[in-house]
Structure 1
Amino acid sequence: MIKLRGHHLFCLVGFRGMGYSEEFAENMKNIHEELRKNPKTLIQLIDGVDHICEKYPKYKEYHCLDQNIFDKDKQILDKLNLQVGQTLTWEEVENCIRKYVTPEDIDVICYRCSWRSHGLCKGGIQRILNGAGLWEIK
């Protein structure tokens, strides 16, 4: 089971191989690939440091416990009609995205995110809406 916080659901949808460090990107790629190849993988939604945060580089300013990150987690879970403590499959997460999310939601919910300007998350949401699933990372 993969433990994820709310905002990482959108980060995984937009992930294309980049990250805060090589170790961070490799960890996220491993999680991303597991979900892409096995959409029935179980996800437990948690509040706080998850399997992605645990590889955040030690030399960077740690933001995983900042209130604005917790606020973004809540916004995204509310948007998806999900809640902390819930266990579901990645396939079910994608179904919630198709039901409740548009690419334009990224501009509103993730307006502070430094990755937003790359446009990857909006593209990833559109892929999910089109039924294509997660990007293949090469």
Structure 2
Amino acid sequence: MTVRLRGHHLLCLLTFVGEGYTPSFTRNYVGIAKRLSAGESITVVDGPDDICAPMLCEAGAHCREDSITRRDSLALAAVADVLDRSIGSGSVLVLDADRLRRLRSAFAEGRAAAACAECEWAGLCRSVADGGFGNALVHAAEDPSLLREEL
């Protein structure tokens, strides 16, 4: 299996501590955090993804707004720069310990947070980063056999 994620969710997962828009959104995201922590791969997609899924049936869901699409583009550029590789729709990666450390370091230093500038969660994410990501729910898989090379 693979987790389908849009660009800006590659940054959101760095600081996710179990808070979200609705209870169903949060439950879903916690499940995704567990899957990523177990070493499941990520496939980058354009538009709504597995994290967005619980919100798509709600009136006024922001998942398809132009501002969110712009956030995705900024986030993909930042992640590509940090990981020193091209990343776009269809890219596949696994968050091993090195990638997660590099992304979190860049986020904490502000090098990967431009996409977050207008996000309503930016304050929470900044406090998680300032606290050393200790409460974040996504961790690198501890069993090396779970980690696969990128496809």
TM-score with structure 1 setting the length: 0.78
CA distance in 1, matches of 2:66, 2:28: 24
CA distance in 1, matches of 2:59, 2:111: 28
1:84 aligns with 2:94: no
- The letter for the 2-side match of 1:78 is A
Aligned-residue offset at 1:43:
0.7
Aligned-residue offset at 1:109:
2.3
CA distance in 1, matches of 2:56, 2:91: 28
Give the corresponding residue for 1:4: 5
Q: Deviations over 1:39-86 (max 9, x none)?
A: x31110000111011111644521111111111111111111122210
- The letter for the 2-side match of 1:19 is G
Partner residue of 2:116 out of 65, 86, 110: 110
Indicate conservation of the 8 Å contact 1:11/1:121, yes or no.
no
CA distance in 1, matches of 2:43, 2:131: 21
Give the corresponding residue for 1:43: 42
Indicate conservation of the 8 Å contact 2:78/2:111, yes or no.
no
Give the corresponding residue for 2:66: 67
Which of these two proteins has the greater Rg computed from alpha carbons?
Answer: 2
SS at 2:10's partner residue? Answer: helix
Indicate conservation of the 8 Å contact 2:44/2:92, yes or no.
yes
Give the corresponding residue for 2:53: 54
* Count of matched residue positions in the alignment of Structure 1 and Structure 2: 129
Q: Deviations over 1:6-26 (max 9, x none)?
A: 111111111111111100000
Q: CA RMSD in A?
A: 2.8
TM-score with structure 2 setting the length: 0.72
SS at 1:64's partner residue? Answer: helix
The 3 A distance-change label for structure 1 pair 27 and 2 is: same
SS at 2:53's partner residue? Answer: helix
Aligned-residue offset at 1:121:
6.9
SS at 1:80's partner residue? Answer: helix
- Which 5+ residue runs of structure 2 have no aligned equivalent? 81-86, 139-151
The 3 A distance-change label for structure 1 pair 21 and 75 is: same
SS at 1:3's partner residue? Answer: strand
Indicate conservation of the 8 Å contact 2:4/2:45, yes or no.
yes
- Which 5+ residue runs of structure 1 have no aligned equivalent? none
